[in-house]
């Protein structure tokens, strides 16, 4: 709690939901001392205490424990008179007491002033920071649980149409609150949905046999006769023929507009386009399949990629979803799909609901992100397990090189760099900001390894999110697209992958280029895994295990030797907290 207080008072922003707030003025020297004592610890009543030094305003914040049994929908009124109905109240907390303070703004009041004497939400300055406090649980979507069940039994009853309208108003309320905290928000999208939509299984039109081969490998009979159900370890999939595609998509979109409950995320639907057919713009309005496959064909031809009978190139087999849970989870958490899919197979999405990052991190995917996972399968005799660590480095390098491709950013892509071990950064002026990340999952079976390479890359995001689009200068004729970007990445990586496998996983052929493209050359870091800690300079990575190499004073040493083991997880956290 003390860390939260210091964060806000030193310039951070805080938003709190379901909190009872009281605002008062400091009364005396004794009161000042009491406030200072309060601020020094964590309180058993789950409270926070702030003091705005400039005005002497004290803010006491107390959190209750939410209970679905006592929660009740409330109607509130925004400053412009707009009424928002159905937002959940704890039913236990008392009214917020805002006796006054400098730079204080009421975000909303209870519409029934007779039943509650106070504000439903306020925004205020706290020293160098800002905070917004809500007595209500404004963060809960009204079209998902627990709000759905509570609204169904509320009095007076609220119709489904009213719930949908109220949910849009709630989103406006959250948007309004974040703006009052001084946050710059991207443009709101009218196309994003909060439930998964059916996925489209396609192949390059010149390779019509690929989709049929995938269905055969999954033991799925002729889907033109009837739909087929595949129950996997994490998800259940319904496979359909493309003739039913428009009907299935329309039904799913209608449901997505009215019900956001995660319990309705099963089953997943897959629409298979056989015989070289591609979906129409109506079926994939946010991803142009023809543009993608045309770009893929051009980049494959330019890279002079060739295949033997029965093989196909990276990206030629595509599983696309407008909205999915996670392209990575769909592959690495479903054992049947993971082990049975012919490879290579690209899983791509426009939006993710539960994207994953490194460790326990999540990957948020606002509009403009390129989100995909690539499934590969290779013999351990061709790629020894000890060399798998280099896959993430190789793919990161392929992404960075693709950004320099003439059809993507050309020379403007030179500011796109690698941050060890698996992040993509872009330099805008003197600042370097993360625009992408890579996640690799491996699974071993019968002398082979299944590799799922997940990647998220900000391509078309608008500010404040940094993306490739912001590297394009005004007046440039560069036309970025997700379709061309992923096509170039596939071709770039496939060419590198061939060399990588030919060298049995050696990274030597790419080492010089990797070090030329990363952020860390000569970077000074503090190594805390030795006693006493020492400052070292990063000079590269080891060619055997991919660990960082550093120079302490005049002696070069590698992280795997002796007691001075360089923990890659520790260093990854360091680089996350201290991007160069």
In the chain, the N- to C-terminal Cα span, in Å, equals 29
DSSP structural state of residue 411: G
Instruction: Give the start-end residues of each E strand in 329-390.
Output: 345-352, 369-379
Instruction: Please tell me the predicted confidence (pLDDT) of residue 563.
Output: 29
User: What is the pTM for the complete model shown?
Assistant: 0.76
Residue 295's pLDDT band, with cuts at 50, 70 and 90, is: very high
Lowest mean pLDDT among 174-188, 306-320, 406-420: 174-188
Of 306, 452, 451, whose CA–CA distance to 379 is shortest?
451
Instruction: Look over the chain and give the mean of its residue pLDDT values, rounded to a whole number.
Output: 82
If you count DSSP H runs as helices and E runs as strands, how many of each does the chain have, helices first? 13, 26
Q: What is the per-residue DSSP string for 192-237?
A: --SS---EEEEE-TT-THHHHHHHHHTT---TTTS-EEEE-SS-EE
What does the pLDDT read at residue 535?
86
Cross-strand bridge partners of residue 436: 424, 457
Average of per-residue pLDDT across 187-197: 67
- The arithmetic mean of pLDDT across residues 25-47, rounded, is 46
Percent of the chain at pLDDT above 90? 39
Rounded to an integer, the average pLDDT of 434-455 is 95
> What span, in angstroms and rounded, lies between the C-alpha atoms of 297 and 290?
11
Q: What homologous superfamily is domain 199-516 in, according to CATH? A: Bira Bifunctional Protein; Domain 2 (3.30.930.10)
User: In Å, how far are 141, 260, 317 from 194, measured between CA atoms?
Assistant: 10, 6, 26
pLDDT at residue 555 is higher than 90:
no
Task: List Cα–Cα distances, 12 to 6, 129, 515, in angstroms.
Answer: 9, 5, 35
* pLDDT tier at 210, thresholds 50, 70, 90: very high
Q: In which order are the strands placed within the sheet that holds 119-126?
A: 13-16, 129-134, 119-126, 104-110, 72-77, 83-89, 136-137
Q: What is the pLDDT of residues 76-131, one digit of tens each?
A: 888 888 888 788 876 554 445 554 455 678 888 888 754 455 678 888 888 888 88
> Which among 41-50, 80-89, 216-225, 468-477 has the top mean pLDDT?
468-477
CB 560 within 8 A of CB 547: yes
pLDDT value at 260 more than 80? no
Whether residue 385 contacts residue 450, with contact meaning beta carbons closer than 8 Å, is answered with: no
What pLDDT score was predicted for residue 117? 52
Over residues 565-575, the pLDDT tens digits come to 344 444 544 45
Q: Examine the pLDDT at 33 and tell me if it is beyond 60.
A: no
Is the pLDDT at 264 greater than 50? The verdict is: yes
pLDDT per position as a tens digit, 377-431:
999 999 999 999 999 999 999 999 999 999 899 999 999 999 999 999 998 878 8
Secondary element (H or E) of residue 540: strand 534-541
Q: Enumerate the CATH 3.30.930.10 domain ranges in the chain, comma separated.
A: 199-516
Neighbours of 210 (CB within 10 A): 21
Average pLDDT value for residue range 251-277: 80
Place of tokens 């039109």: 205
Whether residue 444 is predicted with pLDDT greater than 90 in this model: the reply is: yes
């Amino acid at each position: 709690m003390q860390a939260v207080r210091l964060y806000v008072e030193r310039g951070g922003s805080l938003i709190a939901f379901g909190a009872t707030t009281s605002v008062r003025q400091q009364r005396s020297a004794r009161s000042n001392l009491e406030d200072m004592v309060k601020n020094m610890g964590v309180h058993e009543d789950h409270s926070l205490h702030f003091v705005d030094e400039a005005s002497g305003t004290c803010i006491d914040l107390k959190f209750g424990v939410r209970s679905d049994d006592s929660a009740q929908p409330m109607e509130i009124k925004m400053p412009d008179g707009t009424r928002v109905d159905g937002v959940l109240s704890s039913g236990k907390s008392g009214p917020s007491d805002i006796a006054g303070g400098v730079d204080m703004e009421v975000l909303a009041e209870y519409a029934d002033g007779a039943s509650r004497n106070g504000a439903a939400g306020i925004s205020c300055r706290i020293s160098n920071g800002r905070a917004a406090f809500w007595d209500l649980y404004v963060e809960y979507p009204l079209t998902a649980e627990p709000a759905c069940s509570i609204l169904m039994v509320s009095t007076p009853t609220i119709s489904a149409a009213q719930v949908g309208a109220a949910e849009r108003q709630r989103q406006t309320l959250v948007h309004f609150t974040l703006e009052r905290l001084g946050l710059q928000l991207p443009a709101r999208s009218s196309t994003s949905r909060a439930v998964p939509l059916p996925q489209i299984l396609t192949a390059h039109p010149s390779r019509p046999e690929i989709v049929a081969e995938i269905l055969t490998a999954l033991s799925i009979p002729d889907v033109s006769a009837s739909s087929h159900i595949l129950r996997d370890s994490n998800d259940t999939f319904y496979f359909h023929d493309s003739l039913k595609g428009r009907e299935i998509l329309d039904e799913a979109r209608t449901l997505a507009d009215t019900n956001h409950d995660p319990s309705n995320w099963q089953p997943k639907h897959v629409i298979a386009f056989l015989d070289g057919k591609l979906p129409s713009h109506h079926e994939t309005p946010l991803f142009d399949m023809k543009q993608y496959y045309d770009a893929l064909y051009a980049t494959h031809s330019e890279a002079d990629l060739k295949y033997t009978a029965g093989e196909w190139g990276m990206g030629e087999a595509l599983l696309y979803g407008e909205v999915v849970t996670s392209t990575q989870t769909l592959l690495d958490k479903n054992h049947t799909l993971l082990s049975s899919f012919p490879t290579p197979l690209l899983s791509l999405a426009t939006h993710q609901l539960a994207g994953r990052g490194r460790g326990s991190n999540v990957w948020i995917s606002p509009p403009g992100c390129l989100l995909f996972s690539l499934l590969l399968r290779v013999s351990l005799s061709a790629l020894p397990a000890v060399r798998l660590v280099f896959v993430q480095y190789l793919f990161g390098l392929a992404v960075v090189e693709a950004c320099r491709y003439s059809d993507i950013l050309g020379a403007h892509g030179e500011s796109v760099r690698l941050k060890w071990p698996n992040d993509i950064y872009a330099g805008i002026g003197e600042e370097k900001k993360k625009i992408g990340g890579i996640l690799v999952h491996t699974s071993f079976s019968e002398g082979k390894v299944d590799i799922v390479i997940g990647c998220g890359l900000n391509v078309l995001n608008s500010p404040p999110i940094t993306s490739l689009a912001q590297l394009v200068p005004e007046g440039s004729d560069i036309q970025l697209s997700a379709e061309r970007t992923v096509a170039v990445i596939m071709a770039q990586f496939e060419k590198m992958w061939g060399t990588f496998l030919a060298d049995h996983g050696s990274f030597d052929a790419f080492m010089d280029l990797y070090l030329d493209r990363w952020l860390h050359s000569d970077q000074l870091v503090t190594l805390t895994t030795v006693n006493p800690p020492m400052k070292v300079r990063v000079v590269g990575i080891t060619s055997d295990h991919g660990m960082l190499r550093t120079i302490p004073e005049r002696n070069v040493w590698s992280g795997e030797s002796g007691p001075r083991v360089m923990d890659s997880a520790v260093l990854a956290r360091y680089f996350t907290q201290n991007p160069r």
